[in-house]
Protein backbone atom coordinates (compact mmCIF):
# COMPACT_ATOMS: atom_id res chain seq x y z
CA UNK A 1 0.00 0.00 0.00
CA UNK A 2 1.34 3.43 -0.96
CA UNK A 3 1.43 6.36 1.42
CA UNK A 4 -1.41 8.14 -0.38
CA UNK A 5 -3.74 5.26 0.48
CA UNK A 6 -2.70 5.53 4.14
CA UNK A 7 -3.67 9.19 4.47
CA UNK A 8 -6.67 9.84 6.71
CA UNK A 9 -8.86 12.18 4.69
CA UNK A 10 -10.36 13.79 7.78
CA UNK A 11 -6.93 14.73 9.20
CA UNK A 12 -5.34 16.55 6.28
CA UNK A 13 -3.13 19.40 7.56
CA UNK A 14 -4.80 22.68 6.71
CA UNK A 15 -1.51 24.48 6.04
CA UNK A 16 1.76 22.91 4.89
CA UNK A 17 4.96 24.93 4.61
CA UNK A 18 8.02 23.66 2.73
CA UNK A 19 11.67 24.70 2.73
CA UNK A 20 12.68 23.58 -0.75
CA UNK A 21 16.36 22.84 -0.26
CA UNK A 22 18.92 21.00 -2.37
CA UNK A 23 18.61 22.33 -5.93
CA UNK A 24 22.29 23.27 -6.13
CA UNK A 25 23.52 20.01 -4.63
CA UNK A 26 21.31 18.01 -6.97
CA UNK A 27 22.78 19.82 -9.99
CA UNK A 28 26.33 19.33 -8.72
CA UNK A 29 25.75 15.58 -8.38
CA UNK A 30 24.63 15.54 -12.01
CA UNK A 31 27.68 17.53 -13.07
CA UNK A 32 25.43 20.42 -14.12
CA UNK A 33 25.27 24.15 -13.37
CA UNK A 34 23.16 25.23 -10.39
CA UNK A 35 20.43 26.67 -12.64
CA UNK A 36 19.62 23.19 -13.91
CA UNK A 37 18.82 22.29 -10.32
CA UNK A 38 16.53 25.30 -9.96
CA UNK A 39 14.74 24.43 -13.18
CA UNK A 40 14.21 20.87 -12.02
CA UNK A 41 13.02 22.24 -8.70
CA UNK A 42 10.28 24.15 -10.53
CA UNK A 43 8.97 20.86 -11.90
CA UNK A 44 8.78 19.54 -8.33
CA UNK A 45 6.82 22.63 -7.29
CA UNK A 46 4.32 21.91 -10.07
CA UNK A 47 3.83 18.30 -8.97
CA UNK A 48 3.59 18.98 -5.24
CA UNK A 49 1.17 21.87 -5.72
CA UNK A 50 -1.17 19.66 -7.73
CA UNK A 51 -0.87 16.88 -5.14
CA UNK A 52 -1.70 19.29 -2.30
CA UNK A 53 -4.69 20.67 -4.18
CA UNK A 54 -6.00 17.19 -4.89
CA UNK A 55 -5.79 16.21 -1.21
CA UNK A 56 -7.67 19.31 -0.11
CA UNK A 57 -4.81 21.15 1.59
CA UNK A 58 -5.99 24.74 2.01
CA UNK A 59 -2.62 26.53 2.16
CA UNK A 60 0.77 25.57 0.74
CA UNK A 61 3.63 27.95 1.55
CA UNK A 62 6.91 27.52 -0.33
CA UNK A 63 10.17 29.18 0.71
CA UNK A 64 11.39 30.26 -2.72
CA UNK A 65 13.89 33.07 -2.13
CA UNK A 66 15.16 34.44 1.17
CA UNK A 67 16.49 37.93 1.83
CA UNK A 68 19.90 36.27 2.31
CA UNK A 69 19.71 34.93 -1.26
CA UNK A 70 20.29 38.45 -2.57
CA UNK A 71 23.90 37.92 -1.50
CA UNK A 72 24.39 35.14 -4.05
CA UNK A 73 26.41 35.86 -7.24
CA UNK A 74 24.58 38.37 -9.44
CA UNK A 75 24.51 35.95 -12.37
CA UNK A 76 22.64 33.36 -10.32
CA UNK A 77 20.18 35.89 -8.89
CA UNK A 78 19.46 37.31 -12.36
CA UNK A 79 18.92 33.80 -13.71
CA UNK A 80 16.58 32.98 -10.82
CA UNK A 81 14.51 36.09 -11.47
CA UNK A 82 14.26 35.20 -15.16
CA UNK A 83 13.22 31.67 -14.24
CA UNK A 84 10.57 33.08 -11.90
CA UNK A 85 9.07 35.26 -14.64
CA UNK A 86 9.08 32.39 -17.14
CA UNK A 87 7.49 30.05 -14.60
CA UNK A 88 4.73 32.51 -13.71
CA UNK A 89 3.88 33.03 -17.37
CA UNK A 90 3.81 29.28 -17.94
CA UNK A 91 1.90 28.29 -14.81
CA UNK A 92 -0.78 31.01 -14.60
CA UNK A 93 -3.21 29.15 -16.93
CA UNK A 94 -2.69 26.00 -14.84
CA UNK A 95 -3.43 27.90 -11.63
CA UNK A 96 -6.63 29.23 -13.16
CA UNK A 97 -7.65 25.79 -14.44
CA UNK A 98 -7.09 24.22 -10.99
CA UNK A 99 -8.77 27.08 -9.08
CA UNK A 100 -5.51 27.86 -7.22
CA UNK A 101 -4.95 31.32 -5.77
CA UNK A 102 -1.41 32.71 -5.75
CA UNK A 103 -0.28 34.86 -2.84
CA UNK A 104 3.08 36.06 -1.55
CA UNK A 105 4.83 36.97 1.67
CA UNK A 106 8.06 38.92 1.68
CA UNK A 107 9.55 42.21 0.56
CA UNK A 108 8.73 41.97 -3.14
CA UNK A 109 9.57 45.66 -3.58
CA UNK A 110 13.17 44.47 -3.96
CA UNK A 111 12.35 42.42 -7.05
CA UNK A 112 13.40 43.63 -10.50
CA UNK A 113 10.51 45.61 -12.00
CA UNK A 114 9.67 43.05 -14.70
CA UNK A 115 9.62 40.21 -12.17
CA UNK A 116 7.56 42.25 -9.72
CA UNK A 117 4.98 43.23 -12.34
CA UNK A 118 4.55 39.66 -13.65
CA UNK A 119 4.17 38.34 -10.13
CA UNK A 120 1.62 40.95 -9.09
CA UNK A 121 -0.35 40.39 -12.31
CA UNK A 122 -0.61 36.67 -11.58
CA UNK A 123 -1.69 37.36 -7.99
CA UNK A 124 -4.44 39.66 -9.26
CA UNK A 125 -5.52 37.27 -12.00
CA UNK A 126 -5.95 34.37 -9.56
CA UNK A 127 -7.40 36.44 -6.69
CA UNK A 128 -10.95 35.13 -7.19
CA UNK A 129 -9.95 31.46 -7.16
CA UNK A 130 -11.32 29.58 -4.17
CA UNK A 131 -9.21 26.42 -4.04
CA UNK A 132 -5.69 25.90 -2.68
CA UNK A 133 -3.83 29.07 -1.72
CA UNK A 134 -0.28 28.81 -3.00
CA UNK A 135 1.83 31.21 -0.91
CA UNK A 136 5.29 32.00 -2.26
CA UNK A 137 7.78 33.31 0.31
CA UNK A 138 9.83 35.60 -1.92
CA UNK A 139 12.53 37.97 -0.66
CA UNK A 140 11.41 36.80 2.75
CA UNK A 141 13.01 36.26 6.12
CA UNK A 142 11.31 35.84 9.48
CA UNK A 143 13.60 38.31 11.21
CA UNK A 144 12.83 40.95 8.57
CA UNK A 145 9.11 40.23 9.01
CA UNK A 146 9.25 40.52 12.81
CA UNK A 147 11.27 43.74 12.65
CA UNK A 148 8.79 45.22 10.16
CA UNK A 149 5.81 44.22 12.32
CA UNK A 150 7.48 45.69 15.41
CA UNK A 151 8.07 48.98 13.61
CA UNK A 152 4.40 49.15 12.59
CA UNK A 153 3.21 48.42 16.11
CA UNK A 154 5.60 51.01 17.57
CA UNK A 155 4.29 53.56 15.08
CA UNK A 156 0.69 52.80 16.09
CA UNK A 157 1.58 53.30 19.77
CA UNK A 158 3.43 56.53 18.97
CA UNK A 159 0.38 57.90 17.14
CA UNK A 160 -1.88 56.97 20.05
CA UNK A 161 -3.78 54.32 18.11
CA UNK A 162 -2.70 51.51 20.44
CA UNK A 163 -1.74 51.14 24.10
CA UNK A 164 1.42 49.25 25.04
CA UNK A 165 -0.54 47.08 27.47
CA UNK A 166 -2.88 46.03 24.66
CA UNK A 167 -0.08 44.34 22.70
CA UNK A 168 -0.46 40.55 22.80
CA UNK A 169 0.08 37.50 20.57
CA UNK A 170 -2.93 38.36 18.41
CA UNK A 171 -1.62 41.90 17.92
CA UNK A 172 1.76 40.71 16.69
CA UNK A 173 0.21 38.05 14.43
CA UNK A 174 -2.05 40.67 12.85
CA UNK A 175 0.96 42.77 11.80
CA UNK A 176 2.88 39.91 10.17
CA UNK A 177 2.77 39.32 6.42
CA UNK A 178 0.82 36.13 7.18
CA UNK A 179 -1.97 38.00 9.01
CA UNK A 180 -4.68 36.45 6.81
CA UNK A 181 -3.08 32.99 6.74
CA UNK A 182 -3.40 30.32 9.47
CA UNK A 183 -0.18 29.09 11.07
CA UNK A 184 1.33 25.99 9.43
CA UNK A 185 0.39 22.60 10.83
CA UNK A 186 3.33 20.88 9.13
CA UNK A 187 6.76 22.07 8.00
CA UNK A 188 8.68 19.93 5.51
CA UNK A 189 12.36 20.51 4.80
CA UNK A 190 14.26 18.61 2.14
CA UNK A 191 18.02 17.93 1.73
CA UNK A 192 18.80 16.60 5.21
CA UNK A 193 19.45 19.97 6.84
CA UNK A 194 17.97 20.11 10.35
CA UNK A 195 17.22 23.81 10.73
CA UNK A 196 14.46 26.33 10.00
CA UNK A 197 16.70 28.89 8.26
CA UNK A 198 14.90 32.09 9.27
CA UNK A 199 11.54 30.87 7.94
CA UNK A 200 8.21 31.63 9.68
CA UNK A 201 9.82 31.69 13.14
CA UNK A 202 6.72 33.06 14.85
CA UNK A 203 4.22 30.99 12.87
CA UNK A 204 5.97 27.62 13.33
CA UNK A 205 5.74 27.69 17.13
CA UNK A 206 3.42 24.67 17.27
CA UNK A 207 3.97 23.07 13.84
CA UNK A 208 5.11 19.49 13.36
CA UNK A 209 8.56 19.40 11.73
CA UNK A 210 9.44 16.81 9.09
CA UNK A 211 12.97 16.51 7.71
CA UNK A 212 14.01 14.30 4.80
CA UNK A 213 17.40 13.64 3.18
CA UNK A 214 15.75 13.81 -0.25
CA UNK A 215 16.92 16.79 -2.33
CA UNK A 216 14.10 19.00 -3.57
CA UNK A 217 14.41 18.10 -7.29
CA UNK A 218 14.06 14.43 -6.27
CA UNK A 219 11.12 15.01 -3.91
CA UNK A 220 8.14 13.11 -5.31
CA UNK A 221 4.42 13.00 -4.59
CA UNK A 222 5.03 9.79 -2.66
CA UNK A 223 7.56 11.62 -0.45
CA UNK A 224 4.95 14.33 0.11
CA UNK A 225 2.31 11.76 1.08
CA UNK A 226 4.85 10.11 3.43
CA UNK A 227 5.32 13.43 5.25
CA UNK A 228 1.57 13.78 5.72
CA UNK A 229 1.23 10.21 7.02
CA UNK A 230 4.09 10.93 9.45
CA UNK A 231 2.28 14.09 10.56
CA UNK A 232 -0.95 12.19 11.13
Active site (catalytic) residues: 21, 69
Q: What values do phi and psi take at 173, rounded to 5?
A: -60, -35
Count of residues making up the chain: 232
Name every residue whose Cβ is closer than 8 Å to that of residue 142 and which is 6 or more positions away in sequence: 198, 199, 200, 201, 202
Q: What phi-psi label fits residue 2: left (phi over 0), alpha (psi between -120 and 50 degrees) or beta?
A: beta
Rg for the chain, CA atoms, rounded? 18
193 close to 217: Cβ distance less than 8 angstroms: no
Q: What pairing do the DSSP bridges indicate for beta strands 59-66 and 15-19?
A: parallel
Helices (H), ranges, 98-135: 113-125
Amino acid sequence: MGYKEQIQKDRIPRHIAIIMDGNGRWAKRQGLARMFGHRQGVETVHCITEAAAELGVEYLTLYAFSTENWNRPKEEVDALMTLLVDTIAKETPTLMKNNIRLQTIGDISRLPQATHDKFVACIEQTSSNTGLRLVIALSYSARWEIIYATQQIADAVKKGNMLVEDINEETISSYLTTAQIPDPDLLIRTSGELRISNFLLWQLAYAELYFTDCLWPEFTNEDFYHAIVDYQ
